Structure 1
């Protein structure tokens, strides 16, 4: 870790010398000398890093260098903070400038003395390391195994997820038999095994098996984890299993009217559940499930208490209903259902383990051509035996070996043997953590801080890739020097994320709209524990846990802070401890003592589904005292008042997350203070989900380094000026008039993701013919009061893969070209609503060869007939048709060959299209408010039926 800390310090100093040249006057020479000496030390760290596992003295030197790099950053950042005080406006600014002129000589001297002291420490360590024989390695030489170029080459070996599984047919058959046995009482079927053994993979395999899907009426899958929220679990299951037909059944419940009035809106806005007690949710879920044969999966359940709280929600239902557990604790399985023996997942055999390892370590074409050379297999099988049959360890080991030479395989094998010799092996699987740690050690230096940063996330948390890489960049983990000619720093950060995925250090939860990129990720529990352990060893990040009995003061409530921060703590993540009882609004833990925390760089809050508030004085304390913060993420922590003026102190802040914080304004005040304009280093500002009353002061134009401005639609932002924000890459929502004002549309030429609201038709031409609409654009959302007359400029957006157009579309433009024909050919996701088209749009849209997601909604088409031709939509996987007057839909054989999900909400459609029988790939069909389709149904996906009652029981069809 020391190498990456020093590297970041050197790069940050180099950046500051350029960007802050005016502020660094007087100490510039000293800072540049410090930069040079840290750079020299970096070359020796490669050798020291690999020796620190063998010698305590080297380990102490490495830790000392890391602390020196931190100290250098602190001195320079503090100096810049003091110098910045000589700027400002009005009388207050004048007073600051006068005071600074008096004190600047003393400040320069004090800072120079500190830098000299740091340089002396560097020289002392440097001499000791040379005396000990630490060698200077070439810049490209690896600190562990192989070169960075070889490590990067693994990116060329992306494997499909199904390639990395082993078919355990015997276990799958056993599990299917248990799930498909019909018994009057609801039974619990459990899969038991240690973390990393593949319980979730097995459960997912069976959950999606076609025979199992045909057995049940409804399904739900939810994660539990140690710190689970019963409310969140119940809401998630309800959202999966509830249909509109269930509402009428609830009329028999006590106090039905207030409950039923909310149910109609629950699917659109889950926040409405917050007003219900846990008992209300249990009562609703019981009523929904009581006449269904259901399958509910509770993945990773830990305690008897967790099942005790959830058990009342599951009635016997229709004969054959099941709850499927995955758990590490066989006692939990027996407690849940003493009459149902759990399925104990076995470790892989050596042959199965080698098969899994080779699939991960070698490209598919090598395996198809006869397998890997025998020397690799001999070494691989020996290493697989050390993994004790644990799939997770084998997968991580495969990621470590991928792309390496035979000589490097031998080095890995020798290192694994050494690790196992040093530890006692009294327990099975004890060596797994060492294998995972070996993969961490193999990470190139630039990936280590990115990986350890993941220790901030609570257990079983899915994190969004975009948010994560923005935080990485804000922390300084992503090097500007790594950019290619046409790349942004976000592209480099995304490559970092992909490499962690390819190494199996991070697991993909959801793919993005392209089906290839990553949308959300998570850490396997075993990997997360290793990540937390490493982060603690490196004084990298401290996790504080809020409890309902905390006093919100670290000095007086040890129960709320199991791992108190130290003077070396650079980052704090605060996790909630969910109450066992009803969760009322309460004060969230916030550090109130600045002792040891003056150099804090990140403060990150996680609140789960609890309702926490932050008093104004607590927010003011943060802004006043933690002035070196770079990342402040308050998402979900409700603010009692608008943010205090003291926010102007955080001049180093690069990421400010205020999502769902309840920011509101009074009749005249803005939700944010004007002093936010002082945050000149801000890179990301996230203000989403703050209600309809959020107002912003017209100072954002001062944030000239801002790259991501994330705000909600339909807010009072018309007054904002944006013309100086030339680095903006993401602008989630903006009025067209903001872009036209002061020529901003010609200056914001770096935009990749933008949402535009047009109030007049004449605004469209000005925007679409500007620099904003360029080859850089990836995602575009446009809404209009009026109509889109000419979409021809969109045809130039070759990188555009995601588009949403809301509003009328004039169908033809001279010379008689259909306006939809101007959509760029690389579109993958398209949403159209309110288009008022007279001609069938399918004949144009089905020619988009890469389209995977299409949604046509809300009066998008005024005709009565629509046709999908035999060669149309070759890649389409998801299709939604909603709320327009279609009466007849013809689907020719060969159309939409890849369609998996189809959702129809068309009140005038006379019959379910007979052509659905050709769509054999469909796995999910939702029919919403389609009463007329009950009259007669022909053939659906090979299942014949003459009436509605037969078709409604096809397992992948849901009637909502």
Structure 2
């Protein structure tokens, strides 16, 4: 982690030397020398980070390097803040200007002394490198007894099979079928998932399965792990596949001979080679010539935590991701591990013990390894009191396991392997997720912007036409591919919508966060947080989990927050309206703050002290309700992200918004009282909730760097928008429009609509108002994935046209969008549609779905279509359908679908395959 800190600080100091040269005159050379020395020290940190787990001395050295880096950054940014503040106050009056210059001289002397002290510390630490035996580590070097122990604990052996196998038999069946019955399929089968998910256990079951044993002639199991040698791997495979060759003969073979022998035996016989626990693409780059790439009958089964590794080996291979255990399966596995007698029989369990056991099993989050570790602990506990003691310390056992000689180390040790394998830049991204409360769905766009605001994303990684937020999104993809985070993908764009941490991965993350002093989570939800939580003078980030009753909220003492770079507030459900008066003095101490997010549910009057946070880059009021907006927000000249999406009422917009030239991401409220200018925001990349009633459409012509635009406008302004989209918006990737057509009747109107639909970056369109007819399908952009039509009063069946839009995934027909009586979804129509919503189509009587239509539909909703007689018979062919909801439909329609007292309605057979069929009424929801 220190490697990441020093790298980002070195880059940050370089940027400050360029961007803030006018403030750093006089101390520039000293700052540059510190930067150079830190860059040199960075070369040694990889070795130090590798060895600190086994050496307290090295661990302290790493800690000091990290703190010196922070000190250097703080000193330079504090100096810039003080000089900028004084110049701003004294610029107009000569006398004050003279005073300002004298003050600047004192500040120069002060920072000069601070930098000199930092240089002395760096020199002392540099001299100690040889004393501690720390070296400039080259790629592939470095090991330790601790890491070797972890490697041996994770080593798998094919002869050790797992008897207590629960819940994953279906996974085994899928993989066996892929290996045995699909001979023409690709030669690679992969099992991918987070640490502890049971990949190796599943692979062993497959390896020993009787159908697999009958199908293949020879078998080899090799545990690869993170430290491996090609020669060792090849020797192991030859021993297993050709047992008649003596060990002596194998040991005498050259590497070239080993490659050839492994290659030839897989062509001569049907072989199954299991490569367990592969971590890097380098493994395959080196070993691939030992494996034939023809479809000859031999196959490879590999397990990995990194999806990219599997795809690198064979992009067309079969990739299987095991699911988590459900609650019942977790309890069954726990019983097998915790209640097994020495004679192999299961102990009886009373009601209270079962209740407590189920509770603990639920805390395992469906992760088989966690259940096994917990079962190992409970196996030696025989009374309810002993189980209760374990229950109170479950997370401790997950971290430590049973002891040093156990078969399974603690869950955290296993998850730590994934963390330690991360390149340094991804570690900061992972640890940042520790800010968020348990079970949080973390919006990816906002997360990426925060990472950029805190300089946790490197400029050096930006590729052509990328932004730093694009790089941050790549970080999230990397964590997802390494199975360290779970992601939810937007149906309309296939981009990451949000991410979350598995409960146990979050516990591990919080332990690393505390160990690295990366951030402080201050949880006031269950009473005041102990003072210790905010006592560190180098706290860089705080996440405040607020209580329902603000009277129990005690702020960190002034002086402990002077180093803060981010402050995130998380409020409970409901409103907190007495918080802001307490926060007034709090903000006075936030001189270096870059990220400030009030979260949802906070209301009050904003402290003017926020306008003094010179370094602030990210400011969000999303979901809160603040009164008294003032121009002080316009003073935040470094601000890059501003989210003004308050949840209630009109707000007074900052009158200097258009002068905030560094803004990259602007989220406007849905409604506000003042008409605003935007033409000065020439570097803006994201603009959300642009409304032509409150903004001038012509301002968009100046925003040439926009990449994402969400806008609402009247149809009569469509010409200006199309001119912008077709001529100016060269960087635009995603545009979404709410278009209101009060009057639409001419061919010219239809031509404008066609031109809008043809825009290649249009992915979402909401169209309200009568339009008479739809343009031909050839005008619809292939990138269009979301369409909502409301009050369109179409007389011709829209499904004929919309069914041909190739990538349409979400379709909503609302409020008399179609006024005809019959609607047909023909064969092969809507090839990518995932969600269909029919609302208030008051004339619709019959809806026909042909076999082969909507092959990917997963969600269907029918609401208040009172003349619709029945659901289409063709729905029985839509096997992908997972959820079908009926809202406020006539009783006759509902009764045809009901399943009551075992009796099926006459149309139930059409949707009997759907897992979730529900009939609802708005009146019951209101109650």
Query: Structure 2 length normalisation: TM-score?
Result: 0.69
Is 2:114 the partner of 1:114? yes
Tell me what 1:659 maps to. 622
Distance 2:45 2:7 in 1: 10
Over 3 Å counting, the alpha-carbon distance change for 1:464 and 1:502 in structure 2 is same
1:625 matched residue in structure 2: 589
Match of residue 794 from structure 2: 837
Mapping of 1:339-378 within 5 angstroms? 351-352=201-202, 354=204, 374-376=221-223
Q: Which of 475, 478, 486 does residue 454 from structure 2 map onto?
A: 475
Match of 1:69 in 2: 69
Q: Is the 8 A contact 2:492 2:785 kept in 1?
A: yes
Tell me whether 1:958 sits opposite 2:918 in the alignment: yes
Single out whichever of 73-82 and 40-49 deviates more from structure 2.
40-49
> What are the Cα deviations for residues 101-147 of structure 1, in whole angstroms up to 9, with x where unaligned?
23111111211221222122212211221454433346x778889xx
The answer as to 2:506 corresponding to 1:536 is no
* Alignment match, 2:335: none
Aligned positions of 1:558-957 closer than 5 A: 559-561=529-531, 563-576=533-546, 585-587=549-551, 589=553, 591-609=555-573, 611-636=575-600, 638-641=602-605, 643-664=606-627, 671-717=628-674, 719-736=675-692, 740=696, 743-759=698-714, 761-771=715-725, 773-774=729-730, 776-784=732-740, 786=742, 789=749, 790-795=752-757, 797-809=759-771, 811=773, 818=775, 821-885=778-842, 886-905=844-863, 906-931=865-890, 934=893, 947=906, 956-957=916-917
> In the superposition, relative to structure 1, how do residues 936 and 634 fare at CA in structure 2: closer, same or farther (>3 Å)?
closer
Q: Distance in 2 between matches of 1:841 and 1:120?
A: 75
* Paired residues of 1:877 and 1:900 also in contact (CA < 8 A): yes
Native 8 Å contact 1:874 1:898 kept in 2: yes
Q: Which runs of 5+ in 2 are unaligned?
A: 145-161, 173-195, 209-214, 234-275, 288-301, 306-398, 921-927
Who is 2:370 aligned against?
none
Structure 1 residues 865 and 689: alpha-carbon distance in aligned structure 2, compared to 1, 3 A threshold: farther
1:840 touches 1:861 (CA, 8 Å); kept in 2?
A: yes
Q: Distance in 2 between matches of 1:351 and 1:488?
A: 42
Q: Deviations over 1:48-103 (max 9, x none)?
A: 22222233332222111101110011011101111221454899998865542231
Judged with a 3 Å threshold, the aligned counterparts in structure 2 of structure 1 residues 351 and 58 are, in CA distance, closer, same or farther, namely: closer
Change (3 A) 1:649 1:371: farther
Q: 1 CA distance for matches of 2:616 and 2:226?
A: 49
| 2-structure distance, mates of 1:879, 1:571 | 43
1:756: Cα distance to partner? 1.7
- Preserved contact between residue 777 and residue 797 of structure 1 (Cα < 8 Å): no
From 402, 427, 432, the counterpart of 1:453 = 432
Quote the RMSD (CA, aligned, Å): 4.2
Q: 1:76-225 maps to which residues of 2 (within 5 A)?
A: 76-88=76-88, 97=97, 99-137=99-137, 171=167
* Distance in 2 separating the partners of 1:375 and 1:426: 23
Kindly state the Cα deviation for residue 401 of structure 1 after the two structures are TM-superposed.
5.4
Contact persistence 1:663–1:690 (CA under 8 A):
no
Structure 2 contact 480–486 (Cα < 8 Å) conserved: yes
Q: Deviations over 1:822-863 (max 9, x none)?
A: 331122333333333343222221112222221121232233
CA contact (8 A) 1:867 1:891 kept: yes
Write the distance in 1 (CA, Å) between the matches of 2:603 and 2:521. 22
Distance 2:226 2:45 in 1: 30
> CA separation of 1:598/1:171 partners in 2, compared to 1, >3 Å: closer, same or farther?
closer
Aligned length: 708
Does residue 523 in structure 1 map to residue 501 in structure 2? Answer: yes
Q: How does 1:542-553 map to 2 (within 5 A)?
A: 542-547=520-525, 549-550=527-528
Shift of 1:733: 0.5
The whole-number CA distance in structure 2 between the counterparts of 1:868 and 1:538 is 57
Structure 1's unaligned 5+ residue stretches are 146-165, 175-197, 202-345, 359-367, 384-396, 413-419, 551-558, 578-582, 665-670, 813-817
TM-score by length of 1: 0.66
Deviation at 1:571, TM superposition (A): 1.1
Q: Cα distance 1:833–1:707, how it changes in 2: closer, same or farther (>3 A)?
A: farther
Contact 2:226 2:278 in 1 (8 A): no
- For residues 407 and 574 of structure 2, the distance between their equivalents in structure 1, rounded to whole angstroms, comes to 39
Confirm or deny: 8 A CA contact 1:543 1:572 kept in the other structure. yes
Counterpart of 2:348 in structure 1 is none
Which residue pairs with 1:24 in the alignment? 24
CA displacement at 1:519 relative to structure 2: 2.1
Is this contact kept in 1: 2:540–2:564, CA < 8 A? yes
What do the CA deviations read for 1:497-524 (whole angstroms, capped 9, x no partner)? Answer: 111112122123x322158443222222
| Cα 1:437/1:376, change in 2 over 3 Å | closer
Residue 611 (structure 1) shift: 3.7
- Please give the secondary structure, in 2, of the residue aligned with 1:613: coil
Residue 507 of structure 1 corresponds to 486
Q: Tell me, in whole angstroms, the C-alpha distance in 1 between the residues paired with 2:143 and 2:753.
A: 54
Deviation at 1:40, TM superposition (A): 1.6
Q: CA 1:115–1:811 in structure 2 vs 1: closer, same or farther (change >3 Å)? A: farther
Change (3 A) 1:108 1:750: same
Q: Could you say if the C-alpha distance between residues 489 and 955 of structure 1 is closer, same or farther in structure 2, counting changes exceeding 3 Å?
A: closer
Report the Cα distance in structure 1 between the residues aligned to 2:94 and 2:755, rounded to whole angstroms. 50
CA contact (8 A) 1:512 1:519 kept: yes
Verify the 8 A CA contact 1:587 1:612 in the aligned structure 2. no
Residues 172 and 29 of structure 1: is their aligned pair in 2 closer, same or farther, counting only changes over 3 Å?
closer
Residues 461-511 of structure 1, C-alpha deviation per residue, up to 9 Å, x if partnerless? 222222221211111111122111022222211110111112122123x32
Structure 2 equivalent of residue 553 of structure 1 = none
Q: C-alpha distance in 1, partners of 2:691/2:711?
A: 6
Offset, 1:895: 1.2
- C-alpha spacing 1:860/1:749, structure 2 compared with 1 (3 Å): farther
CA–CA distance in structure 2, aligned partners of residues 122 and 601 of structure 1: 23
Structure 2: distance between partners of 1:497 and 1:349: 23
Deviation, structure 1 residue 785: 5.4
Quick check: which has more Rg, 1 or 2? 2
- Offset at residue 657 of structure 1 (A): 2.0
Whether the 8 Å contact between 1:809 and 1:819 is mirrored in structure 2 is: no
Instruction: Verify the 8 A CA contact 2:493 2:763 in the aligned structure 1.
Output: no
- More displaced stretch, 518-527 vs 372-381: 372-381
Secondary structure of 1:485's partner?
A: coil
